[in-house]
Amino acid sequence: MTESLRVGLLLYPGCMPAGLFAFADLLHAANRRTGKALFTVGHVALQPGPVLCAHGMHLNASAGLDDRELDALLVPGFWAESAPLVEAALANHAALIKALAGLPKRIQLWSYCTGVAVLAASGRLNGQPATVTWWLAEAMRQRHAKVRWQSERSCVFNERTATASGVNGYLPIAQALIERGVSAEVFHDLTRLMVLPRPAVAHPAFQGASLMEQSSPLLRQAHGVIEYLPAEHLTVQVLADRLGLSERTLARRIKAETGEAVAAYARRIKLNQASERLTLTALPVTAISEQLGFSSDANLRRMFKALTGLTPAAYRQAFGRY
């Protein structure tokens, strides 16, 4: 990262700002740790000026959403205890949602907790995988059918969007941002220094398997196709066809960028989906196998152990957070 990433922290009436403060502290700490101005952070709102946030807290937005200098925007959640309350809040924020929908496509949009509902309402998650806090999952599926909801995951990263569940969802977003822009070692130092909740540790087989960690447009596109397709239908020919490449060209490019054969790369990405369900949910292996389109749960178990050296049950015991 050679230039400062300009990140806006969105304020709107009733939003919960605590996560915004923590997120800003993390990015400030990354700047101090590296001695570089890697991130520039400021509060923005529909219009510049004071905003009445949750718990009667007034914060000042130094810029409006029409500020085209932004590179990214973080949308926090708001206090709600049921789907109808979320619906009511979204109706009250119609002008904000319209403004989000009209932001330039180059601006990255990140959201967490009930803030995901605001971002979904803008249409900016349509056609993409996304997650949301568990109690909102069914309402979001019904209201925003164009979003590829994956509520069993705690975080979902795409090329231009990121969503995370829970009031602490800012943390995995900050983690991915700092690890991508600086290094995993720097983020590890910050978590020790700031005594933050320790993010889940991935098995070495799945290091670098998230979408945000893919190093090129081809890998990001391939990653999306692999996650979308049922495992049973995932072949090198199908993947090449979906990407508009010959099998030979695809094999050459994947090998050059990852050091893996196409089939091995695709299998690792698909099994990473299984690993996330094992660590973040209590779903049985049979249900995970069915969701991801494996021909049988026995086949999933066999492939998973071949890659990780662990059965799904042993993996869940070692890495699970449920």
Whether residues 171 and 231 share a domain: the answer is no
Give the tens place of pLDDT for each residue, 12-40.
999 999 999 999 999 999 999 888 999 99
* 71 and 159 fall within a common domain: yes
Residue 172 within a domain: yes
| Residue 199 placed within a domain | no
In a domain, 32, yes or no: yes
Smallest CA-to-CA distance from 281 within 185, 174, 151, 191 is with 151
Q: Among 194, 223, 239, give the residue marking a domain's end.
A: 194
Identify whether residues 67 and 149 lie together within a single domain. yes
Residues 190 and 210 in one domain: no
| Shared-domain flag, residues 152 and 9 | yes
Sign of CA dihedral 175, 178, 179, 183: negative
**In sequence order, what are the residues at sequence separation of 6 or more whose Cβ sits closer than 8 angstroms to the Cβ of residue 89?**
14, 78, 80, 114, 117
Residue range 302-315: mean pLDDT, rounded: 95
What is the domain extent for residue 21? 5-194
- Tell me the average pLDDT across 287-310: 95
User: Rounded to whole angstroms, what are the CA distances from 77 to 9, 13, 102, 111, 119?
Assistant: 12, 11, 20, 8, 10
What pLDDT is recorded for position 191? 77
265 touches 252 (CB < 8 A): no
Residue 153 lies in a domain: yes
pLDDT at 213: 66
**Cα separation of the two ends of the chain:** 35
Q: With a cut of 80, say whether residue 61 has pLDDT above it.
A: yes
d(CA 239, CA 207): 22
Residue 2 confidence class, pLDDT cut points 50, 70, 90: low
- 214 shares a domain with 111: no
Residues 111 and 235 in one domain: no
What number is the average pLDDT over the span 85-89?
Answer: 94
CB 45 within 8 A of CB 75: no
Mean pLDDT to the nearest integer, 125-146: 92
Same structural domain, 31 and 149: yes
Distances (CA, A) of 136 to 17, 77, 91, 149, 196: 20, 12, 16, 11, 26
Chain centroid to Cα 157, Å, comes to: 3
* Number of other CB atoms surrounding residue 220 within 10 Å: 16
Tens of pLDDT, residues 198-242: 455 668 888 777 766 676 888 888 988 998 899 999 999 999 999
Q: What is the mean pLDDT of residues 136-140?
A: 91
CATH code for the domain of 147: 3.40.50.880
Tokens of 256: 């050059």
Return the sign of the alpha-carbon dihedral for residues 111, 123, 283, 86: positive
Count of domains forming the chain: 2
Q: Higher confidence at residue 153 or residue 299?
A: 299
What average pLDDT score do residues 165-172 get? Answer: 88
- C-alpha 120/C-alpha 140 separation (Å) is 8
State the average pLDDT for the chain.
90
> Considering the domain boundaries, does residue 225 fall inside one?
yes
Cβ count within 10 A of residue 137: 17
For 252-298, the pLDDT digits (tens) are 999 998 889 999 999 999 999 999 888 877 889 999 999 999 999 99
- Who contacts 7 (Cβ-Cβ below 8 Å, separation ≥6)? 27, 39, 40, 41, 42, 70, 71, 72, 73, 74
Q: In the prediction, which pLDDT does 195 show?
A: 58
Does residue 150 carry a pLDDT above 90?
no
Helix H or strand E segment including 60: strand 58-61
Partner residues linked to 156 by β-bridges = 163
Place 196 in a pLDDT band, splitting at 50, 70 and 90.
low
- Does some domain include residue 233? yes
Residue 302, pLDDT above cutoff 50: yes
Burial of 147 (0-12, 13-18, 19+ CB in 10 A): buried
Task: Tell whether 175 and 88 lie within a shared domain.
Answer: yes
Whether residue 184 is found in the same domain as residue 213: no
pLDDT band at 75 (very low <50, low <70, confident <90, very high): very high
Looking at 167, 194, 221, which one is the last position of a domain?
A: 194
Name residue 6's beta-bridge partners.
Answer: 40
Q: Structure tokens of 208?
A: 């670098």
Question: For residue 1, what pLDDT is reported?
Answer: 47
Read off the pLDDT of each residue in 76-102 and give the average, rounded to a whole number. Answer: 94
Do residues 96 and 87 make contact, with C-beta atoms less than 8 angstroms apart? no
**CA 197 and chain centroid, separation:** 18
Query: Helix, strand, or coil here: 15?
Result: strand
Domain membership flag for residue 258: yes
Could you say which of 194, 229, 257 is where a domain stops?
194
Query: Do 178 and 218 sit in the same domain of this protein?
Result: no
Instruction: Please indicate, yes or no, if residue 200 is contained in any of the structural domains.
Output: no
Torsion of CA 154, 158, 161, 162, to 10 degrees: 20
pLDDT at 226: 93
For residues 27 and 72, state if they share a domain.
Answer: yes
Question: Which H or E run includes 73?
Answer: strand 72-75
Question: Residue 66 pLDDT > 50, yes or no?
Answer: yes
The per-residue pLDDT for 170 is: 92
